[in-house]
């Protein structure tokens, strides 16, 4: 066993406990040099060491640091303060800490540095910077990054469950004899609140974990080698665009109209939100936002932001889109063309310090919008309240206002897209290729074609690794929860190739047909809510080809087990190929929400399939190394350490205006496309 790699894995566990306490269910402890102990325990090192070394199976030695780091820069963020990637001062601290970790000269010194740092900086700051470093250091690529819901479960789960968990663990000694605890559904509001119909989506553990992990893989600030990734700005646009498309379609499924973009920050916000979850850091609840709240300028010790600043940045970005170019800090004009324009805008709007062409002029629109909303309840800190859920990437998607704010951000990107030329026949067509049949069918023997099924499923998560100061021997403290699930299905397409053998890219989308009032949607409306389901290459032989693809192989989603996997060696596969898949970067849409909910009576969608010419899609990678397990959800997350594997713009062909009035006309004009009606039926019962 490589003890250094094992040590790095264990530093994710019990994030609020001192580094000298036991880990791995009480089986392992670190042998620490005295310098690692903080001043609080410096005079009691022998006592605490002896206490936590009893009955352990493994002692992992941690080496002395060659040079102790100066951590004064991190002291501005106190141990019990909330950490936010949207607050400039916090981002600057995180950037410095990530650089410090990356600069460790070898694995042994990185372990020593992480152990030394853990108890001296804010715990959430540490976990974020530590995870980013693990994902980006060449010598730590095999260390699995646990799901954030396993590390800080209180960010995801109703608080009373933890009281029950500690009681169950204290009273029932053996984990196998314990009752599973139940996380209540719909605990944030009653059915008098219409927005609560979407709680199953907004408060889903997998959805919020995905958002956290995407920002972990694509941080907006930090060292250049961490931030500067291929088409990063475009990925920011597209991942959030797809989130919004999925959310609006889910609203139709629940007879609600599309979310209204938050384009005026001076209007009252009618949507209140009372999250009822605890901050892991200070054991306080995340503050609520009352209905009809007015936003105000933020004037707090850790930063000031005025609404007028956001309005000024907004106007400058919109003016740049109208002009068709942005200006860098030297005054050089950079065109917002159809290839690079969306990537440039993505980095400007998310205000990536190292990638924005002119951070001073175009500002920090997206992040500071989150900040102003998150402090709506206490903008001047007179009540000493911290930010609400909109200030934290692990919790922001729980709040209905997240989708209104991103509805506005998406409208800015869509303004740029609307000014680009309409796709022409050469870009859309694939001569000699015809899609003649399209079907999606459940696996049951008597299943009807093109009728898909969703239902509720009860699943479980293990809280033990994140239950700080709980019983150390516990391998299993189980909590059950209800979530939406879809029955697996198979796509079948018949494709005729009139030419020689060639390669194509199969692109699958579903588009809503009607709105919440059952009124037909125009093609432009369908385009903006087209949900990407899958994308993969196909080899087309001359003549007839039958293509089959399982829904569980989607390029968008990651399997359920990766969203809710347990922490620790006992839960990792032993086979090498399975272990490689397990050690996945964790980035991807949760498979259990691949399909929209649909309706009990059935809800119709257009299933759209396109085979595009791979010679126009292919990307010459910089290395020939095989794709690692992170390739499975590349549509939202790209490929680890590689270029984005599709030369077309993300969302093609629905990312730009189309040359037809209806989807039927569009598909009818190109033989390499086809569509069929599918029905998604929701069965309101719980399985499992």
pLDDT exceeds cutoff 90 at 34: no
pLDDT for position 629: 53
pLDDT, the chain, mean: 89
pLDDT for position 178: 66
Q: Which of 402, 419, 436 is the last residue of a domain?
A: 419
Report d(CA 427, CA 137) in Å as an integer: 39
How many CA atoms lie less than 13 Å away from 578 in the CB half-sphere? 6
Q: Which of 364, 384, 419 is the last residue of a domain?
A: 419
Report d(CA 253, CA 513) in Å as an integer: 12
Are 286 and 315 members of one domain? yes
pLDDT exceeds cutoff 80 at 467: no
Are 536 and 673 members of one domain? yes
Of residues 470 and 558, more confidence is placed in: 558
pLDDT tens per residue across span 402-421:
999 999 999 999 999 999 99
For residue 51, being part of any structural domain is answered with: yes
Are 28 and 42 members of one domain? yes
pLDDT for position 470: 54
- Residue 616 backbone dihedrals phi, psi, to 5 degrees: -95, -5
Are 415 and 452 members of one domain? no
pLDDT exceeds cutoff 60 at 631: no
Give SS3 for 452.
strand
- In contact, 373 and 401? CB cutoff 8 Å: yes
pLDDT for position 682: 98
Helix and strand numbers, DSSP H then E, in the chain: 22, 18
pLDDT tens per residue across span 355-383:
999 999 999 999 999 999 999 999 999 99
Report the candidate in 508, 512, 510, 491 with the shortest Cα–Cα distance to residue 441. 491
For residue 235, being part of any structural domain is answered with: yes
For residue 293, being part of any structural domain is answered with: yes
Are 129 and 205 members of one domain? no
pLDDT band, very low/low/confident/very high, at 24 (cuts 50, 70, 90): confident
pLDDT exceeds cutoff 50 at 688: yes
For residue 112, being part of any structural domain is answered with: yes
Are 412 and 430 members of one domain? no
pLDDT for position 27: 87
- Residue 573 backbone dihedrals phi, psi, to 5 degrees: -65, 155
Query: How many residues does the structure list for the chain?
Result: 688
For residue 183, being part of any structural domain is answered with: no
Residue from 9, 195, 350, 532 carrying the catalytic annotation: 350
pLDDT exceeds cutoff 80 at 476: no
Strands 589-590 and 557-558: parallel
Are 455 and 358 members of one domain? no
**If 0-12 CB within 10 Å is exposed, 13-18 middle and 19+ buried, where does residue 55 land?**
exposed
Strands 543-550 and 489-497: antiparallel
The domain of 92 spans 3-137
pLDDT band, very low/low/confident/very high, at 570 (cuts 50, 70, 90): very low
For residue 172, being part of any structural domain is answered with: no
pLDDT tens per residue across span 169-213:
667 666 566 667 788 888 899 999 999 999 999 999 889 988 988
For residue 146, being part of any structural domain is answered with: no
Any alpha helices (H) in 337-420, and if so which ranges?
341-349, 359-362, 365-374, 400-418
Are 447 and 405 members of one domain? no
Are 270 and 408 members of one domain? yes
Are 395 and 453 members of one domain? no
Report the candidate in 492, 503, 494 with the shortest Cα–Cα distance to residue 430. 503
CATH of the domain at 121: 1.20.1370.10
pLDDT band, very low/low/confident/very high, at 573 (cuts 50, 70, 90): very low
Strands of 359-516 (E only): list them.
433-442, 451-462, 478-486, 489-497, 502-512
Give the count of domains, the chain. 3
pLDDT tens per residue across span 261-298:
999 999 999 999 999 988 878 888 999 999 999 999 99
Residue 350 designated active-site: yes
Strands 333-335 and 433-442: unpaired
CATH of the domain at 559: 2.60.40.1520
Q: Which helix (H) or strand (E) holds 301?
A: none
Cα–Cα distances in angstroms (integers) from residue 389 to residues 275, 370, 392, in the given order: 7, 9, 6
**Rounded to a whole number, what is the distance in angstroms from the first to the last CA of the chain?**
37
pTM: 0.92
- For 21, other C-beta atoms within 10 Å of its C-beta total 17
Any alpha helices (H) in 157-222, and if so which ranges?
160-171, 199-202, 205-217
pLDDT tens per residue across span 427-466:
999 999 999 999 999 988 889 999 999 999 998 877 665 5
For residue 29, being part of any structural domain is answered with: yes
Q: Which of 364, 391, 419 is the last residue of a domain?
A: 419
pLDDT tens per residue across span 72-82:
999 999 999 99
Are 436 and 405 members of one domain? no
pLDDT tens per residue across span 522-545:
999 999 999 999 999 999 999 999
pLDDT for position 184: 83
């Amino acid at each position: 066993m490589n003890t250094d790699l094992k040590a790095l894995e264990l530093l994710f566990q019990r994030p609020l406990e001192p580094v000298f306490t036991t880990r791995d269910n009480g089986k392992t402890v670190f042998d620490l040099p005295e310098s690692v102990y903080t001043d609080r325990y410096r005079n009691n090192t022998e006592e605490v060491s002896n206490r936590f070394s009893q009955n352990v199976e493994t002692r992992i030695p941690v080496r002395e640091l060659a040079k102790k780091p100066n951590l004064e820069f991190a002291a501005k963020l106190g141990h019990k303060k909330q950490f936010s990637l949207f607050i400039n001062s916090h981002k600057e601290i995180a950037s410095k800490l990530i650089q410090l970790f990356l600069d460790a000269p070898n694995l042994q010194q990185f372990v020593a540095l992480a152990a030394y740092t853990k108890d001296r900086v804010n715990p959430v700051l540490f976990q974020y910077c530590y995870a980013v470093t693990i994902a980006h250091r060449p010598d730590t690529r095999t260390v699995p990054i646990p799901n954030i819901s396993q590390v800080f479960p209180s960010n995801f789960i109703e608080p009373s469950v933890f009281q029950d968990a500690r009681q169950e663990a204290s009273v029932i000694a053996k984990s196998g004899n314990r009752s599973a605890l139940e996380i209540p559904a719909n605990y944030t509001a009653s059915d008098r609140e219409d927005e609560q119909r979407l709680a199953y989506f907004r408060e889903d553990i997998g959805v919020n974990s995905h958002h956290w992990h995407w920002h972990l893989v694509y941080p907006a600030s930090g060292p250049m080698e961490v931030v500067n990734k291929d088409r990063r700005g475009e990925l920011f646009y597209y991942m959030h665009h797809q989130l919004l498309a999925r959310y609006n379609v889910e609203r139709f499924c629940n007879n609600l109209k599309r979310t209204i973009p938050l384009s005026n920050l001076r209007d009252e916000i009618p949507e209140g939100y009372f999250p009822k979850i605890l901050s892991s850091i200070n054991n306080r609840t995340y503050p609520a936002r009352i209905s009809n709240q007015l936003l105000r300028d933020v004037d707090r010790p850790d930063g000031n932001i005025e609404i007028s600043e956001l309005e000024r940045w907004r106007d400058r970005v919109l003016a740049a889109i109208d002009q068709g170019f942005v200006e860098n800090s030297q005054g050089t004009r950079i065109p917002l063309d159809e290839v690079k324009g969306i990537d440039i805008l993505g980095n400007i709007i998310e205000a990536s310090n190292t990638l924005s062409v002119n951070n001073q002029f175009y500002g920090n629109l997206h992040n500071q919008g989150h900040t102003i909303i998150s402090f709506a309840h206490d903008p001047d800190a007179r009540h000493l309240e911290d930010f609400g859920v909109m200030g934290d990437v692990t919790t922001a998607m729980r709040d209905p206002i997240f989708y209104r704010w991103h509805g506005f951000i998406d409208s800015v990107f869509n303004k740029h897209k609307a000014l680009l030329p309409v796709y022409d026949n050469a870009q859309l067509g694939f001569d000699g290729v015809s899609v003649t049949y399209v079907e999606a069918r459940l696996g049951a023997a008597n299943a009807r074609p093109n009728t898909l099924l969703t239902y509720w499923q009860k699943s479980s998560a293990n809280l033990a690794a994140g239950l700080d100061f709980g019983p150390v021997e516990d391998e299993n403290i189980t909590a059950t929860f209800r979530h939406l699930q879809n029955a697996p299905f198979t796509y079948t397409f018949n494709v005729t190739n009139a030419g020689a053998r060639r390669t194509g890219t199969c692109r699958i989308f579903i588009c809503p047909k009607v709105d919440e009032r059952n009124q037909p949607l125009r093609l432009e409306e369908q385009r903006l809510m087209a949900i990407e389901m899958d994308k993969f290459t196909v080899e087309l032989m001359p003549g007839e080809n039958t293509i089959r693809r399982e829904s569980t192989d989607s390029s968008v989603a990651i399997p359920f087990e990766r969203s809710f996997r347990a922490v620790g060696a006992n839960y990792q596969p032993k086979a090498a190929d399975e272990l490689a898949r397990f050690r996945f970067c964790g980035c991807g849409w949760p498979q259990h929400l691949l399909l929209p909910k649909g309706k009990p009576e059935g809800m119709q969608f257009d299933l759209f399939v396109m085979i595009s010419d791979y010679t126009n899609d292919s990307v010459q990678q910089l290395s020939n190394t095989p794709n690692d397990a992170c390739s499975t959800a590349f549509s939202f997350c790209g490929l680890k350490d590689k270029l984005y594997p599709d030369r077309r713009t993300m969302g093609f062909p629905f990312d730009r205006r189309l040359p037809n009035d209806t989807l039927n006309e569009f598909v009818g004009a190109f033989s390499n496309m086809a569509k069929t009606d599918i029905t998604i039926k929701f069965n309101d019962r719980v399985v499992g």
